[in-house]
């Protein structure tokens, strides 16, 4: 019965392979979960409580604060909307919705990345390696999105591949956060590392 229920839900959502729904649930759920978990930062009054003191010192300045809020808002909406783009039922049966949502997601992620690039100057300590990593990731997201738009009419397979790359690059922020949390805990336990 469980297998038939899984196949029924998979069929309703338009997935053809049996593992596709599971992949969508795990990876799409991680992306949406991360976006919803970070949506607490959408409240400007709580932003200071969620950041380290040194980071908030810089990000509370007039040039960084609007960019931070725009980055958080648009990246959250873009991440949630990206999940809908990979639902076959929307992609095949609701083409106009897929197109409009796609342009919305792309706009959110590009503008969110530009604002994030402004914030990256001071984020996570503002070291050069952090900045260059963020700029490289932001550039990969934007280039992948633009390449996806270029191929939308020419070759739908390449369009899908470029858009999948864009979402994977966007999701790299989740891995970066997890690695940062683990590294901070390990360094704290060791106790002999100082900057």
Percent of the chain with pLDDT over 90: 28
* Number of domains composing the chain: 1
Q: Tell me if 195 is assigned to some domain.
A: no
In which residue ranges of the chain is pLDDT below 50? none
**What pLDDT score was predicted for residue 41?**
79
Q: Tell me if 4 is assigned to some domain.
A: no
Domain assignment of residue 182, given as a range: 19-190
Q: Tell me if 8 is assigned to some domain.
A: no
**What pLDDT score was predicted for residue 148?**
92
Q: Tell me if 113 is assigned to some domain.
A: yes
Conformation bin of residue 123: beta by default, left when phi > 0, alpha when psi is -120 to 50 = beta
Q: Tell me if 11 is assigned to some domain.
A: no
**What pLDDT score was predicted for residue 2?**
67
| pTM of structure | 0.81
Q: Tell me if 180 is assigned to some domain.
A: yes
């Amino acid at each position: 019965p469980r297998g038939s229920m899984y196949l029924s839900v998979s069929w309703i959502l338009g997935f053809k392979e049996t593992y596709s729904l599971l992949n969508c649930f795990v990876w799409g759920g991680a992306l949406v979960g991360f976006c919803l978990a970070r949506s607490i930062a959408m409240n400007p009054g709580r932003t200071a409580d969620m950041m380290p003191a040194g980071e908030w010192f810089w990000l509370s300045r007039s040039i960084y604060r609007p960019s931070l809020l725009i980055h958080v808002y648009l990246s959250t909406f873009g991440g949630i909307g990206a999940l809908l783009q990979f639902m076959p039922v929307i992609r095949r049966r609701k083409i106009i919705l897929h197109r409009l949502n796609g342009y919305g997601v792309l706009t959110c992620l590009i503008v969110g990345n530009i604002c994030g690039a402004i914030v990256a100057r001071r984020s996570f300590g503002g070291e050069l390696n952090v900045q260059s990593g963020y700029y490289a990731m932001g550039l990969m997201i934007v280039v992948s999105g633009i390449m996806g738009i270029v191929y939308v009419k020419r070759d739908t397979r390449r369009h899908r591949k470029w858009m999948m790359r864009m979402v994977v690059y966007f999701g790299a922020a989740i891995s970066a956060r997890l690695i940062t949390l683990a590294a901070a805990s390990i360094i704290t336990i060791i106790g002999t590392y100082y900057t």
